[in-house]
Every structure is written in C-alpha cells, then in structure tokens.
Chains A and B, each alone.
Chain A
Amino acid sequence: MNLLSTLKHMSASDQIARLFLLLFGVLLLVSFGAYLYALRDRPLERQAAWQRNWRRFQRDLRATWLGACLFWFAWISGAVGATLLFAVFSFLALREFITLVHTQRGDHRSLIVAFFVLLPLQYLLVGTRTFDLFSVLIPVYGFLALPVVSALADEPQRFLERNAKIQWGVMVCVYGLSHAPALLLLDFPGYQGRGAFLLLFLVLVVSVSQIVQALASRALRRRPVARRISRSFSMRSWWLGTLCAALVGALLYWITPFKAGQALVLGFIAACAGSLGGLVMKALKRDAGVRSWGNRSSITGAVGLLDRIAAMCFAAPVFFHSVRWYFKLQIA
C-alpha cells in the first residue's frame, strides 16, 4: 500500500507515463509470449482445436492492442479528440444496431433524426461540458422527438415496436457511450486534467470482469441461469468476474480521486452494470437471430464493434452518475 500511495501523489504526467509503460509493456510481453508459444510442436490430432482457439485469441489480442492505441490517441488529442473518437464509435455502433433490428420505410425520418441530429448534438454537449442538458437530452427531449417524427410519417403499423427499437438503439449506442468521454471531462475538485484516468479505470475494471467471467465459465461449467440467452452466463462465474473486477478497481485507486474502499465499491458497480448489460445485449442478438453484431459477419468470422463495446455502453452511464451522485459534483 505504501508504494500505491506514493504513486497516488505523483504528478499527473508521471502517472500517465508509468501507466502507458505498464499497459504497452504487458501487451508486448503477452504478444511475444504468445508468438513463442505458437511455435511449439503439437500432436496432429489436437491441431484443429488449437488452431481455432489460437485464431480467437489472436483476434482478441489485436482488439486489445487497437483499444490501447486508441486510448493513447484519445489521451494525447485531449478533450476534443476523445469526444470525436467516441462520436465515431457511437455512429458505427448505432449503424450496426439499426441494421439488425430491421426498421421499415416509415422510420426513415426518425433514423435521420437519430443519426444526424441527436448523435452530433449529444457529443457537442459533452465537448462543451454542458452536463445538465447532456444527461436529459435523449431520455427527455429525444424520447418525445423520435415518435413525433415517426407519427408525422403517417405509418401506424407496429408503431410502438418500431419506435422502441430506435429509442433503444439511441439510448444504448449514443446516450450510454457518450458517458465515456463525459468522464474525461468531469470536474473533480483537486483532480483537474486527470479525467482520462477515470475512463481508464472504468475500461480496465469492465474488461477484467468480462475476461474473468469468460474464463471462469469455461473452467467451472456451471449451469447457465438463462440457457436460451447465454450458455455461458452462470451466477458463480458472474460473481467471480465482478469481485475480481472490484479488487482490481481497489488496487487501481491511486489513479482515481477515490479512496481504496470507494474504488472497490465503484469498481463493483461498474463491473456489475457492464456484465449485466452484456447479457442484455446478448438477449437482443438472440432476438435478432444472429451470433454477433456487424453485418452477417459469420461469413468472415469477424465480430462487430458493438460486441466489443456493449458492456461499456451500460457501464459508463451507471458509473458516471454513481460518481456524480456520491461525490455531489456540480454539473452546471
């Protein structure tokens, strides 16, 4: 703990340097280790299974590298760059969402409002730190605007269903995700200019919970809670993942404005929201009858962007508003 409190009192730039050193160092080690491991001789009968696992591992590793580089890019480009980056993510994610929920002709104008009015406006509000309007734009004003535009299109068939789909997409992909750059810009007393750490804290905690949960469900093979939605989601692996994430959160308290205990609880909340949100997104995928977001990607084996960031879309708003509420931060 002594080491950690020394770290906490370092200057921001020293902390950043150490963090990125750590992050890229670990990634380099893992990549290099995996490369050496792949060179090993294997018996022929295990080749096929190994190949499959290896491809999946490589795909995930590449995504992690990409994520780390993007995070670094978001850091050096500052508030504007980070906001733009997440706006692009939102756009791509909403595109995947809308593609799979099968909207109809009458939805055209509502979709234009969602993509070209609500999305840019929401990120403009993040960029200008107008957090009071930012938290209500979509749930209050957007909630009314979308069905109004839809009603004006004069198409009564399945009206509720069609509007619910679009509003869900906007809530998850735009409103949810926009809280990630909002964390960067949140003003914490005595913590100016370090918002990026809050975001990093969130990303790390949520990823740890996902990874541990996936590993645990493979190792434990417990009975799934909701078999028809997810064959891997069991209570025990969920607890394991979430608790590990909370622990990692506590160990990372030195990059946050929290005390160790607060970091533990907030890490738990974020991991909880992330993994349960992931489950909800899985249910949506089952409903649409696909295995992953992205357009018919089963052909190429690629996974959509929304598969990667689904957990964040749910974890970010919950985490953001928990922090704001608990620390009574001024948002105006």
Chain B
Amino acid sequence: MSLADSMGHLLAFIARLITGAQGHWKGCPPAAEQRIYIANHQSHFDWVLIWAALPHELRAQTRPIAARDYWTASRFKTWLTSDVFHAVYVSRTRASPDDDPLEPLLDALKQGDSLALFPEGTRSSKGEPQAFKAGIYHLAEQFPEIPVIPTWIDNVQRVMPKGEVVPVPILCTVTFGAPLHLQPGEGKHEFLERARAAVMAQRPSAA
C-alpha cells in the first residue's frame, strides 16, 4: 500500500470517527457504473464525507473537482488532491476567451471516471443551497447517458462551521437519491431547477 492509499484510509477513518459518514442509498444502490454525483456544499469536509460514505471499491474511480489555483498552492495540497483523491483540476479564470473551463471534466468523463461536484460553486452557510451553476447542465448535455445522482449531505455545517479549524464530532448522513437524466428538449434553466429540487428532496425530513 502506498503512502497516498494509507492517507486515504486514514482520512476515511477520521471522517467516520467524527461524523459516522453514514451513506443512505435511498434512490439507487451503490454500483460500479459511471455516475455524476451532485451535492449541496456547506464545508470543506463535504467531499471527504461523500468519499467516506462510498463503498471502498468505488472510491478510486470517483473523482472530486478542485480549483487549480487553491489546491495546487502548496506541495501538500497538490499531493492530497492529485495522489490521494485523484482530483480533476479546473481553472477559475480563463486564459483566453475560447478556453472551455469544463474541458478537464469532459476528459475525465470520456475516460470513464465518475465525478462528484458541488454545482453551487461555493460554500453556503444558509439552510438552502444557492442556485446551481450551469456546468452540470453542459455535462449532462454532452453525456446524456450518465446518471446524475442528487446527494444531500446533512449536518456537516455543525461539524465545522466556516472559520473554525477543529471539527466537533456530530453524526452526519449522506443521502443518495434516484438518478436524473436530461430530458429531450429540456432547457438549461429547467434542468438546473429540477436538479436543485432533487438535491433538496434528499434532505432527511426529521426535525
């Protein structure tokens, strides 16, 4: 086992110790097929939680998206994102106007990898997710056969609120819903709204 693998095991263990990271597969079973997971984004911990909730076999081929400028800023960050999590890097700024920021994501999907992304684009501290960015629509348009899995991560904002560094042990759940597909003729706005509603529908109803 390489150092990166051990680091991955360690992080998954810590995530489980602190949050339980229970995966609830409500709308689909965990399966070794190509998927795009879309989830609400409340903390830096979100990706680790999804990753720890996935069965071990699915982790290596499920890749997060990382902002290149932030996550390659130091050697440790680079190592963590590339070696441990196999992240797909995207640039937040375009070098030239006809540069497609989605290019690396499309390449990853062509290779057959699954992606996990947070379509809000940034962390939100309110209860409800913000409006989704259009990227997910373009992915669904170019790869209509890949199921989009709406995912809700619950409670994680209590584990590590913005601005705190030490996480507090509180149980979290990751709920995976029924797969979505882009309907023929469905517009961008409709699809984004539908996806956002589907993500919010996975929120556990218990008070």
Listed in ascending order, the chain A residues whose CB lies under 8 Å from chain B are 91, 94-96, 98-99, 103, 105, 108, 111-112, 115-116, 289-290, 294-296, 298-299
Output the least CB separation between B95 and chain A (Å). Answer: 39
The one of A94, A105, A290, A298 that contacts B169, using a Cβ cutoff of 8 Å = A94
Given A99-B155, A289-B206; A296-B173 close (CB under 8 Å): yes
Q: Are A95 and B166 in contact (CB under 8 A)?
A: no
Chain A contacts for B22, CB-based, 8 A? 295
Determine which residue in A108, A115, A295 has the highest number of CB atoms from chain B within 10 A of its CB, and name it: A295
The 3 A-B pairs with the shortest beta carbon distances in the complex, nearest first, are A295-B171, A99-B171, A111-B168
Cβ 8 A contact of A105, one of B20, B155, B161: B161
Inter-chain contact total with CB atoms closer than 8 Å: 41
Pairwise interchain contact A108-B20, C-beta atoms closer than 8 A: no
Chain A residue nearest to B207 (CB atoms) is A289
- Contacts beyond the supplied A99-B155, A108-B164, A294-B171: 18 A-B pairs with Cβ under 8 Å: A91-B169, A95-B20, A95-B169, A96-B171, A98-B169, A98-B170, A103-B158, A103-B170, A108-B161, A112-B166, A112-B168, A289-B206, A289-B207, A295-B20, A295-B22, A295-B173, A296-B24, A296-B206
Interface size class of B (residues with CB under 8 A): 10 to 19
Q: A103-B158, A108-B161 are in contact. Are A296 and B204 (CB under 8 A)?
A: yes
User: In this complex, what residue of B is CB-closest to A114?
Assistant: B168
Would you give the shortest CB distance from B159 to chain A, in whole angstroms?
9
**Which of chain B's residues has its CB closest to A304's CB?**
B171
Looking at the assembled complex, report how far the CB atom of B66 sits from the nearest CB atom of chain A, in whole angstroms. Answer: 26
Q: Give 1 or 0 for each of B19-36: 1 = CB within 8 Å of chain A CB.
A: 010101000000000000
Which residues on the A side are within 8 Å of B20 (C-beta)? 95, 295
Are A295 and B169 also in contact (CB < 8 A) when A103-B158, A108-B161 are? no
Task: Write out the residue numbers on chain A whose beta carbons fall within 8 Å of the beta carbon of B158.
Answer: 103
State the Cβ distance, A90 to closest chain B Cβ, in Å: 11
Contacts of B12 in A (CB 8 A): none
* Chain A hits for B192, CB < 8 A: none
Q: A294 vs B158: C-alpha distance in the bound complex, in angstroms?
A: 16
| Cβ-based interface call for B172 (8 A) | yes
Residue of A nearest to B162 (CB): A105
Q: List 25 A-B contacts (CB under 8 A).
A: A91-B169, A95-B20, A95-B169, A95-B171, A98-B170, A99-B155, A99-B170, A99-B171, A103-B170, A105-B161, A108-B161, A108-B168, A111-B168, A112-B168, A115-B169, A116-B166, A289-B207, A290-B206, A295-B20, A295-B22, A295-B172, A295-B173, A296-B173, A298-B206, A299-B24
In the bound assembly, the distance between CA atoms of A79 and B196 in angstroms comes to: 53
A95 touches B170 (CB 8 A): yes
Known A-B contacts A99-B155, A290-B206, A295-B20; the reply to A115 vs B173 at CB < 8 A is no
Chain B nearest CB, measured from A57 CB (Å): 25
CB distance from B49 to the nearest CB of A (A): 13
A103 to B168, CA, bound (A): 11
Assembled-state Cα–Cα distance A294/B22 (Å): 11
Nearest CB to that of B19 among chain A residues?
A95
CB-CB under 8 A from A289, the residues of chain B are 206-207
Residue of A nearest to B167 (CB): A112
B19 to chain A, nearest CB (A): 9
* Nearest A-chain residue to B206, judged by Cβ: A296
**Complex CA–CA separation, A98 to B167 (angstroms):** 13
Give the residues in chain A near B168, CB-CB below 8 Å: 98, 108, 111-112, 115
What residues of A have a CB within 8 angstroms of the CB of B24 in the complex? Answer: 296, 299
Chain B residues within an 8 Å CB radius of A298: 206
Per the 8 Å Cβ criterion, residues 159-207 of B in contact with A are: 161, 164, 166, 168-173, 204, 206-207
A103-B161 Cα distance, complex, nearest whole Å? 12
The answer for the CA separation of A94 and B20 in the assembled complex, in Å, is: 13
CB of A99 to closest CB in B, whole Å: 4
What distance in Å separates the Cβ of A70 from its nearest Cβ neighbour in chain B?
18
Residues of A contacting B169 in the complex (Cβ-Cβ under 8 angstroms): 91, 94-95, 98, 115
CA distance A290 to B143 in the complex (A): 42
B residues within 8 A CB of A116? Answer: 166
User: Of A91, A105, A298, which is in contact with the most chain B CB atoms at under 10 Å from its CB?
Assistant: A105
CB contacts (< 8 Å) of B173 on chain A: these are: 295-296
Against A, the Cβ 8 Å flags (1 = close, 0 = not) of B51-92 are 000000000000000000000000000000000000000000
Q: How many angstroms from the CA of A103 to the CA of B158 in the assembled complex?
A: 8
- Residue with the highest number of chain A CB atoms closer than 10 Å, among B158, B171, B204, B206: B171
